[in-house]
Chains A and B, each alone.
Chain A
Amino acid sequence: AQSVAQPEDQVNVAEGNPLTVKCTYSVSGNPYLFWYVQYPNRGLQFLLKYITGDNLVKGSYGFEAEFNKSQTSFHLKKPSALVSDSALYFCAVRDRNSGAGSYQLTFGKGTKLSVIP
């Protein structure tokens, strides 16, 4: 079984400050990890993914995430937050060793990010 935890329902940060949205995961094998963003009344939009290799992954809009295997975490970060970053953020995981055809992602419950001007 695979699962994702986003421990914070909401994160508030001042514009220009660094932001972190936390995610921890559980899989039986090795993970594929993803971050998505959802703006109001829109679908989820892919931000970045970790498959293998460098633990620091860079994605869209200046976001990055760091894979930490020992802590089973994949926190989303950005050095300087923008008001336009305010949205709902979802972390997702898939077990890399899941069988053929078992392709579903497990999503966290989402974290609402509010960037305050």
Chain B
Amino acid sequence: DAGVIQSPRHEVTEMGQEVTLRCKPISGHDYLFWYRQTMMRGLELLIYFNNNVPIDDSGMPEDRFSAKMPNASFSTLKIQPSEPRDSAVYFCASSLEGEQYFGPGTRLTVT
């Protein structure tokens, strides 16, 4: 298996623009997680899905952030409008049970 796939790997955008991050989980995994990592706040769970259904979105910082999982093999995290404080590395992870497997991350820079 190729592991968790994320795209793009790097994204540079201007404040106010819409940003869409994409994730393909490991085939057969029924949990999908979105995390954000910064030096200041460390690793934060934003939202997670079970069988494509959002279970807990309490970590989503504000209404500018939204996530969808239209099917078992694809999820998106959207930021609209983006702000400089959204600059971070965003990770997607998937799990069947127990341990989570992380993607390589998307490094987002908002100028």
**Taking chain B's interface residues, is the majority helix, strand, or loop, or is none over half, making it mixed?**
strand
A72 nearest CB across to chain B (Å): 20
* A22-30, A42-50, A75-83: which lies at the interface: A42-50
Q: Which residues of B contact A46 (CB under 8 A)?
A: 99-101
A5 nearest CB across to chain B (Å): 13
Beta-carbon contact of A103 and B95 below 8 Å: yes
Residue of A36, A43, A103, A107 with most partner-chain B CB within 10 A: A43
What per-residue 1/0 map shows which CB atoms of A95-117 lie under 8 Å from chain B? 00000011111010110000000
Contact of A49 among B4, B48, B55, B99 (CB under 8 A): B99
Beta-carbon contact of A103 and B50 below 8 Å: yes
Closest-by-CB residue of A relative to B6 is A43
Which A residues form the contact surface with B (CB < 8 A)? Answer: 32, 34, 36, 42-46, 49, 51, 90, 101-105, 107, 109-110
Beta-carbon contact of B42 and A49 below 8 Å: no
Q: List 26 A-B contacts (CB under 8 A).
A: A32-B98, A34-B99, A43-B91, A43-B93, A43-B102, A43-B104, A44-B43, A44-B91, A44-B93, A46-B99, A46-B100, A49-B98, A51-B98, A90-B43, A101-B50, A102-B55, A103-B55, A103-B95, A104-B45, A104-B48, A105-B45, A105-B100, A107-B42, A109-B42, A110-B42, A110-B43
